[in-house]
């Protein structure tokens, strides 16, 4: 994984990873504390700040990723371009750009805020719960992808019609349709009416 100023502070001097902390929030998105990442996702879940990124190519196709099989939460399922959690005190926009680079090896262009959505999605397979106050971002993917295989199992650019077919046949993350639907107004503004989003 590439080391950035944000990730460098989360590795200890002896090379072992420190616990990843998430920012807990209230229903208005106001920070109220922190919790360790896995603990925040254990049932019934603690409401925490998250982000979701939707990147498109010049043809208006959405970049999907299939989460790596080694991930502890929702492994092997398809999801949006990138999603994750800001570190406590890290701006969601900065976290979205950071994780897109760490996972896919690209710097998104025209990245813009697309609102927020709050949801509660249990994952039947793992028993973990996504209680999230999610900041949404849309933008463009205009570089060659260089996915980190520990994070990303596969990528695909899809049209709206191709996504509908794929979603009917393949497993997707529990939160995918919630964040996609919430981001649709900004997606339509970015891609134009002819893209069909």
Catalytic residues: 83, 132
Q: Quick one: which of 64, 183, 57, 61 has its CA closest to 109?
A: 57
Task: Match 């964040």 to its residue by tokens.
Answer: 179
β-sheet bridge partners, residue 63: 157
Pairing of the two strands 62-67 and 109-122:
unpaired
164: CB partners within 8 A, 6+ apart: none
**Residue 153, SS3 per DSSP:** strand
H-helix or E-strand spanning residue 51: strand 48-56
Cα 65 to chain centroid, rounded: 10
Give me the torsion for CA of 56, 57, 59, 65, rounded to 10°. Answer: -60
DSSP conformation class of 33: E
**SS in 3 state form for 118-129?**
EEEEECCCCCEE
Hey, what are 183's tokens? 């981001």
């Amino acid at each position: 994984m590439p080391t950035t100023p944000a990730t460098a502070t989360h590795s200890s001097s002896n090379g072992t990873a420190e616990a990843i902390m998430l920012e807990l929030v209230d229903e208005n998105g106001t920070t109220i504390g922190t919790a360790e990442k896995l603990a925040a996702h254990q049932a019934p879940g603690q409401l925490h700040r998250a982000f979701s990124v939707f990147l498109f190519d010049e043809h208006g196709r959405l970049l999907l990723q299939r989460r790596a099989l080694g991930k502890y939460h929702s492994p092997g399922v398809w999801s949006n371009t990138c999603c994750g959690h800001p570190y406590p005190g890290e701006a969601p926009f900065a976290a979205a750009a950071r994780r897109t680079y760490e996972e896919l090896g690209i710097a998104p262009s025209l990245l813009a805020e697309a609102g927020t959505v709050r949801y509660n999605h249990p994952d039947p397979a793992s028993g973990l719960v996504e209680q999230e106050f999610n900041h949404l971002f849309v933008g463009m993917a205009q570089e060659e992808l260089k996915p980190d295989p520990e994070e990303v199992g596969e990528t695909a650019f899809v049209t709206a019609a191709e996504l509908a077919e794929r979603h009917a046949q393949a497993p997707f993350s529990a939160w995918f349709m919630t964040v996609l639907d919430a981001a649709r107004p900004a997606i339509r503004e970015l891609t134009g009416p002819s893209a069909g989003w």
